[in-house]
Structure 1
Amino acid sequence: MAKIKVLSEEIASKIAAGEVVQRPESVVKELIENSIDAGARSIDVEVKDAGKSFIRITDDGAGMNEEDALLAFERHATSKIETYQDLENVATLGFRGEALYSIAAVSQIELKTKTAAEDAAVYLRVDGGRQEEVSRTAHGTGTTVIVKNLFYNTPARRNFMKANPTEFRHIYQTVSRYAIAFPEIEFRLQSGDEVVLRAKSDTVRGRLDEVFGERFTDSLVAFEEDYDHLKVSGFLGKPEYTKRTRGEQFLFLNKRYVLSKAINHAAFSAYENLIDKGDFPFFAIFIEMPPNEVDVNVHPSKLEVKFRDERSIYGAIRSATRSALVKSDLVPEMAIAPDSGRFVSRPTTESSRGGIVPVSFNSNPGQHGGSSGRYINDERIADAVDPLFSLRFPQNRSTSAESAGSEGGLLEDTGSIIYQLHNKYIISQISTGLLVIDQHAAHERVIYERTLKRFSEHGQNTQQLLFPISINLDPADFTVVEETIPDLNLMGFSLKTFSGSTVVLDGVPVDLKPGRESTILTEIIEDYKRDNDLRLTPREKLCKTYACKAAVKAGDYLTIEEMESLIDQLFEAEVPYVCPHGRPVLVKIPLLELDKKFGRI
């Protein structure tokens, strides 16, 4: 007797349904996609018991006649494609013809649908995949689908569903994604008797505010770039607003919400050095490209995609997002707390979002302040008796107009005075108040970008030492040197290896201060071994470590000329706002805040 048996239609349908319908959210997703493909301009979603016992989707789309309604519950029955060529040019959200068939196999489902040409609507009732009733009823043009008792006939699947808050969170996230991607369609989500989402705005920006809170988009950077056969647009969260968990990264391909590790990595890499490791920024990225350049038929869920030329897509996303962040004003502002007179960080939006905090400005970038920000100065600052500024005669600032103009007037040539505060910060007058610069972070950024450019310029960046220095290393460190010596030489070091444990240093980069030649190489090696940031290339890691070690330190006295030179070089940098480790370089104190504190307004 044969051991291999053909499964019954009932068992096969339930197995197939498991690929499409994994939880109540899967039902909501598939039915919303059907409504969108039907040309709906209004979609209502109502759930009870987090969708476990009741889901109703109502739309005002084209509807179906009786023949199409009956066929819709057959497996692989669809109006979206007919030939293999259609599959290569899918322009609709649905196309596999599995949604209604799979949902009906594991639930009790009712369908009411009517076309504009018919007087009465079609009513269908299907129980566990079996057609129970076909009749006529009253209904407006469009379709209503009611799904009851999901997984009632597969108890094992029902037991694997999560608690109601978790299941409803998945439903809310899915409805929100479609509301963002299709601002031309009104969405309404109701849970029990409560309407939890009403999306009516006809713009993506407006939809983001409706989903995430009023004035949420004040904390975003909009961008749009056109490439050959590709358009990239969207919104990026400013670096000071991040979360410690993933979940608010949205990637839409031809308005379809998709998952792509490569494209997500491209977007995250645009935030390189702008956010702390372990922080996750918000972004909503829209990609428009020909359907035949991407394969959406990877999985029944239609979330995973494969690009024909993933490398070019990656480059376009990284370039567009990086350019948008670089061009935006990312200098954080400080406000003055009304009760204490102390400086606190001020968010760029007044709306409060759970779990999102401004990036702290203290010396430990791994910790965050609360929603009101982190205090900068000491509690007893009012009683301080030390001079506020370093003792020196003030001199006029004379930055070039070109440098000022490139930053949107941030450092206008107004003849302002610059000071060094406690040999740590540089303070300069700007048109809107005061600009405070961390001298170490600023110099670190300048050296980092300058060193990165050396890899492509191949210029003469080495100053020879009068007396070469021999450095003995353990085998592990010596291996690191052997691995990185080509890049170290391009950075400006001149190194030779001997006897498996000795390195001879006879040249160092031109911007390295004399006196540290014997220690900086070992420090670079140690930091390079500890740096596990996968977002950085080996060259970027080396440059980051070298910049930190070579930059001026807090406590170093700077002359007026040195400060002016540092400021000029900083605003020639590609990203002048943060150091390579992600700490802020600049902070603005608006004149308006000072006027408020002194009672002028």
Structure 2
Amino acid sequence: MADIIQLLPDNIANQIAAGEVIQRPASAVKELLENAADAGATEIKLIVSDAGKALIQVIDNGRGMSETDARMAFERHATSKIRHIDDLFRIRTMGFRGEALASIAAVAQVELKTRRPEDELGTYIEIENSSVLKQEPCACPVGTSISMKNLFFSVPARRNFLKSNAAEMRHIVDEFIRVAMAFPNIFFSLTANGQEMFHLEAGSLKSRIVQVLGSSYNAKLVQVKEETDYMNIHGFAGKPETARKTRGDQYFFVNNRFIKSAYLNHAVNSAFESMIAKDSFPSYVLYIDLDPSQVDINVHPTKQEIKFEDEKIVYAFAQAAVKHALAQFSISPSLDFTLNADIQNLDAVNKPFTTEKKDAAVSSDLFKAFTQKHQAHFIERDNKSDLKHWKSFYDTAGETPLGTTDASPAADAGSLLLKPHVASGPAIQVLAEKPLLQLHTTYIIASTNNGFLLVHQQFAHERILYERFGIAAHGKKMATQQTMFPSTLELGHADAALLTDLLPDLQTIGYQVEPFGSNSFVIQGIPADMDAGNEKHSIELLIEQFKHFSSDIKFSKREKLVRCMARQQAIKAGQTLSQKEMLTLIEDLFTCHTPNSTPTGSPTYVEFKEDYLDRMFGR
């Protein structure tokens, strides 16, 4: 029988390696930019076309390569950084992986021009499918220019798995920003389809942060700087007011290499404890320098996941450094007495404080706790434990999906009959003449013909808005109300690119936003049922939620936008509602196609039936 084990041809081996190293255009961008930085360049230009699928070109003014080095760079396992095995654990530079250029040459058509300062002529090399098609001397500036065209042309199946141009471009911008943040002393530019997106002059770290993240950060950064024998940490943390509802502008670098570390993120988040809301995330750009032998950077092919020899020391040090910086700059928890639009609309602010209200307030236990002596230690008895057996007595609405609201002649006067889609299922009859009760400014209790409903106001409104926005996004455009005073929105480069991509879909759900300069936008109109005055913040938050949309299911761009909009615009827990608002919310909920849950599956209400209530009290 013939032997069946064979060695793979080099070009196929390189394509397999490329599957690990070059997963998408952004992967090649990362490798090429890091190589340029390692070459001692002071200027690095990135040029892309068709989101990197047609062209990725990196031009640097670094030290260049000799003819032999230029040819060897495309061989597998070629490196200028490692001579002995111990060198692997002492690497401080970026691009040392031997498969990088070989992998790129296996999946794209590559052209290289490079020249050293001491050489009169440079070297031109053309490679396709791992084979050198041409090599000859050429006239070119000092440094290196490498172009990769038609990514995955030799592996069509891989090309088919690439996302839309907008999605791939976002990944490219992310990688570009990470390298640019690591080297603020280098000039970087990014040109996409002939238009310059980034022009980052060399300068200080703070100026680079402001260039990338936006001018709004200029006066909102706190310097972090601590040094010990074991490790150093420096960089900037955003003041508490820069915190976002999603994990946005957070950058960690270890020995100038961008890393992803939930462990270190937690360290910094804990340093901001009690300064920001629990569901918010601080902004920071932090650099850790320590002996490379204390770090294993070969955990993952992209080198973005690393392991520390002693994680607890690094955690404690990062946390302490940020805490110290915040304390040093006199940033501590404080009360904010400025009233935003939501607070100004509350009854307590708008309506006069009458004598009756004053008497009621003075007689309350809360007032006594603040004004009487020896009250600080007093804690009222918590009776919540008495409710621990209630859970077995309710059933969720998920058993009977409810449908459209129907005014039925059979219903009692002043009641609301809520009929299910399934004809055999029983209807829920909300007694509209009975007052609705808001519990903990989060839940609505509504009496029914055989019990009561406990409705979660935020989840219910999220379901209503999701279906309303969904209808608009798929045909029936929502009405827009023109803003009396159009507001201008300034964004960073990456967020501006994302918003530009979302503009057509935003228009379908009622927003009227127009580009106004490179990274500026004018908000001319907002959805008709949205409160005016907070539109800038709502769009900024929408962008953050969209960027960090997390789900196990791959949703379309429009679906993600609709879900983010519904979550953002829903009335929140803690918002006081009038009787009319509560009744409207319940009516709107039961006109939904799927009223019993949010888009993510959380229940919008729970039904307590009369027979269960009787059983609670042993009847």
Which TM-score band applies after superposition, normalised by the shorter structure?
Answer: 0.5 to 0.7
Identify the residue that residue 126 of structure 2 maps to in structure 1.
125
Q: Residues of 2 paired with 1:379 and 1:260: CA distance? A: 45
Q: Name the residue aligned to 1:239.
A: 240
> What residue in structure 2 maps to residue 64 of structure 1?
65
Moved more, 140-149 or 87-96: 87-96
Equivalent-residue separation in structure 2 for 1:425 and 1:205 (angstroms): 47
| 1:35 aligns to 2:36 (yes or no) | yes
Tell me what 1:81 maps to: 82
Q: Hey, what's the Cα distance between the residues in 2 that align with 1:299 and 1:382? A: 57
Counterparts of residues 322-471 of structure 1 (less than 5 Å): 322-327=323-328, 328-330=330-332, 331=334, 333-335=336-338, 343-344=339-340, 374-376=342-344, 378=346, 384=352, 386=354
Match of 1:191 in 2: 192
What is the alpha-carbon distance in structure 2 between the residues aligned to residue 111 and residue 138 of structure 1?
A: 12
CA distance in 2, matches of 1:3, 1:272: 62
SS at match of 1:86: helix
CA distance in 2, matches of 1:121, 1:145: 13
CA distance in 2, matches of 1:112, 1:82: 26
Matches of residues 287-298 of structure 1 in structure 2 within 5 Å?
Answer: 287-298=288-299
Distance 1:107 1:54 in 2: 9
- The 1-side partners of 2:356 and 2:146 are apart by 70
Residue type of the partner of 1:215?
A: S
CA gap 1:74/1:215 in 2 versus in 1, 3 angstroms: same
Unaligned stretches of 5+ residues in structure 2: 390-573, 575-619
Name the CA shift for 1:252/1:387 in 2 (closer, same or farther; >3 Å): farther
SS of corresponding position for 2:215: coil
The match for 2:48 is 47
Aligned pair in 2 of structure 1 residues 85, 523: CA closer, same or farther (>3 Å)? Answer: farther
Q: Is the Cα contact below 8 Å between 2:123 and 2:135 reproduced in 1?
A: yes
Q: Which residue of 2 aligns with 1:21?
A: 22
Aligned-partner Cα distance in 2 for 1:86–1:115: 25
Residues 377 and 11 of structure 1: is their aligned pair in 2 closer, same or farther, counting only changes over 3 Å? same
Cα pair distance change 1:238/1:525, threshold 3 Å? farther
Residue pair 1:390, 1:423 contacting (<8 A) in 2 also: no
Say which SS state the counterpart of residue 375 (structure 1) adopts: helix
Give the Cα–Cα distance (whole angstroms) in 2 for the partners of residues 211 and 39 of structure 1: 22
Task: State whether residues 77 and 97 of structure 1, in contact with CA within 8 Å, keep that contact through their aligned partners in structure 2.
Answer: yes
Indicate whether 1:318 and 2:286 are aligned: no
- Alpha-carbon distance, 1:183 to partner: 1.0
**2:7 is matched with which residue?**
6
Alignment match, 2:422: none
Q: Give the aligned CA root-mean-square deviation in angstroms.
A: 3.2
Change (3 A) 1:3 1:267: farther
Task: Assess if the C-alpha contact under 8 Å between 1:224 and 1:232 holds in 2.
Answer: yes
How far did 1:522 drift?
4.2
- 1:259-289 Cα offsets, whole Å, 9 max, x none, are 2232222122223344444433222111011
Give 2:161's aligned residue. 160
Identify the match of residue 513 of structure 1 among 378, 383, 390. 378
Secondary structure of 1:218's match?
coil
Mapped partners of 1:375, 1:91: distance in 2: 52
Judged with a 3 Å threshold, the aligned counterparts in structure 2 of structure 1 residues 292 and 375 are, in CA distance, closer, same or farther, namely same
Mark the CA change 1:524 to 1:235 in structure 2 (over 3 Å): closer, same or farther: farther
What amino acid does structure 2 have at the position aligned with 1:204?
L
| Cα distance in 1 between the residues matched to 2:47 and 2:59 | 9
Give the counterpart letter for 1:236 in structure 2: A
Amino acid at match of 2:68: E
Pairing 1:108-257 to 2, within 5 Å after superposition: 108-257=109-258
Deviations 1:209-253 (A, max 9, x none): 111111323233221112232111222233333333334221101
Measured in 2, the distance between the counterparts of 1:384 and 1:190 equals 58
- Give the aligned residue type for 1:41: T
Q: What corresponds to 1:547 in structure 2?
A: none
Moved more, 12-21 or 227-236: 227-236
Q: Report the equivalent of 2:604.
A: none
The residue type equivalent to 1:37 in the other structure is D
Alpha-carbon spacing, 1:87–1:196, altered in 2? closer, same or farther (3 Å) = same
2: distance between equivalents of 1:275 and 1:4?
61
Q: Deviations over 1:128-170 (max 9, x none)?
A: 1110000122211100001100000001110111101111111
Seen in structure 2, the aligned counterparts of structure 1 residues 387 and 120 have a Cα distance that, compared at 3 Å, is farther
Tell me the alpha carbon deviations over residues 437-467 of structure 1, each in whole angstroms, 9 at most, x when there is no partner.
x979xxxxxxxxxxxxxxxxxxxxxxxxxxx
Shift of 1:324: 2.8
Change (3 A) 1:333 1:158: same
Contact 2:25 2:53 in 1 (8 A): yes
Tell me the equivalent position of 1:299: 300
Q: Identify if the C-alpha distance between structure 1 residues 423 and 175 changes in structure 2 by more than 3 Å, giving closer, same or farther.
A: farther
* Separation in structure 1 between the aligned mates of residue 386 and residue 41 of structure 2, nearest angstrom: 63
Distance in 2 between residues matched to 1:33 and 1:425, nearest whole Å: 62
Change in CA separation of 1:208 and 1:523 when aligned onto 2, cut-off 3 Å: farther
The answer to which of 227-236 and 74-83 deviates more is 227-236
Residues 290-331 of structure 1: per-residue CA shift (max 9 Å, x gap): 112112122332212111111111111111123333444353
Distance 1:424 1:167, change over 3 A: farther
Amino acid at match of 1:375: I
The letter of the residue matching 1:163 is S
Residue identity in the other structure for 1:169: R
1:265 and 2:261 matched: no
Code of the residue aligned with 1:291 in structure 2: it is P
Q: Secondary structure at the match of 1:280?
A: coil
Q: Report the Cα offset of residue 35 of structure 1.
A: 0.6
SS at match of 1:50: helix
Gap change, CA 1:525 and 1:237, over 3 Å in 2: farther
Change (3 A) 1:513 1:425: closer
Alpha-carbon separation, structure 2, partners of 1:226 and 1:389: 57
TM-score, with normalisation over the residues of structure 2?
A: 0.57
The answer to whether the Cα contact below 8 Å between 2:178 and 2:258 also exists between their aligned partners in 1 is yes
| CA separation of 1:321 and 1:387: change in aligned 2, threshold 3 A | farther
Secondary structure of 1:281 counterpart: coil
Return the TM-score normalized by structure 1. Answer: 0.58
Amino acid of the residue matched to residue 325 of structure 2? A
Q: Which moved more, 1:294-303 or 1:131-140?
A: 294-303
Task: State the 1:89 CA deviation.
Answer: 0.6
CA 1:11–1:218: 2 relative to 1, 3 Å: same
The alignment partner of 2:137 has SS state of strand
Letter in 1 for 2:127: V
2:93 is paired with a residue whose SS is coil
- Per the TM alignment, residue 11 of structure 1 is displaced from its structure 2 partner at its CA by 1.9
The aligned amino acid for 2:291 is P
Question: Match of 2:342, SS?
Answer: coil
Q: Which moved more, 1:375-384 or 1:187-196?
A: 375-384
Contact 2:237 2:322 in 1 (8 A): yes
Distance 1:523 1:510, change over 3 A: farther
Partners of 2:324 and 2:387 in 1: how far apart? 30
1:249/1:54 CA distance change after superposition, 3 Å: same
Task: Supply the distance in 1 between the matched residues of 2:110 and 2:47 (Cα, whole angstroms).
Answer: 14
| Distance apart, 1:85 and its partner CA | 1.7
Structure 1 segments unaligned to the other structure (5+ residues):
336-342, 345-372, 392-419, 427-437, 441-508, 527-582, 584-601
